[in-house]
Amino acid sequence: MNENLLAISNIRVNPINGFGNLGNPTNPTATFTNFISSTLGLMTMIAAIWFLFVFLSGAYGIISSGGNKNAYEEARGKITSGAIGLIVVISASFAIDLIGYLIGFDLILNPGEMINRIRL
């Protein structure tokens, strides 16, 4: 047999350990829960920063409208849509929690604990 072929050669591959606890977690449900929690927190922070950007942009538009009614209404619409977006993002987690509670998954935002309860 030809030992020079890569497919039949005997190459040892070391396992990939990943970054931090993600590569070889001792408690995968806690790792998954932390991942979901961190993702939701990050998305909420991004939404808050976006709202701040839209709010400041709208405020600058109102200040610089100079009596132009159309520019004023456009800037006011930016602020309104930014506030509505932020309210939707924040209320989405409460709505998901409420829906999970109503259908019997009271731990829908804590998937690690829900998986542990299913396993038992």
DSSP readout, 62-107?
HHTTTT-HHHHHHHHHHHHHHHHHHHHHHHHHHHHHHHHHHTT-TT
Contact 48, 86 (CB under 8 A): yes
Burial of 58 (0-12, 13-18, 19+ CB in 10 A): buried
Q: Is residue 53 part of a domain?
A: yes
The domain total for the chain is: 1
Q: Is residue 15 part of a domain?
A: no
Q: Is residue 99 part of a domain?
A: yes
Highest mean pLDDT among 30-44, 63-77, 104-118: 63-77
Q: Is residue 2 part of a domain?
A: no
Q: Is residue 9 part of a domain?
A: no
Count the alpha carbons within 13 Å of 102 in the hemisphere toward its beta carbon. Answer: 6
| pTM for this prediction | 0.61
> pLDDT at position 79, please?
93
Containing structural domain, residue 45: 23-119
- When pLDDT is cut at 50, 70 and 90, the band that residue 36 belongs to is confident
Q: Is residue 73 part of a domain?
A: yes
Would you call 109 helix, strand, or coil by DSSP? coil
pLDDT tens per residue across span 64-93 = 988 899 999 999 999 999 999 989 988 887
Q: Is residue 5 part of a domain?
A: no
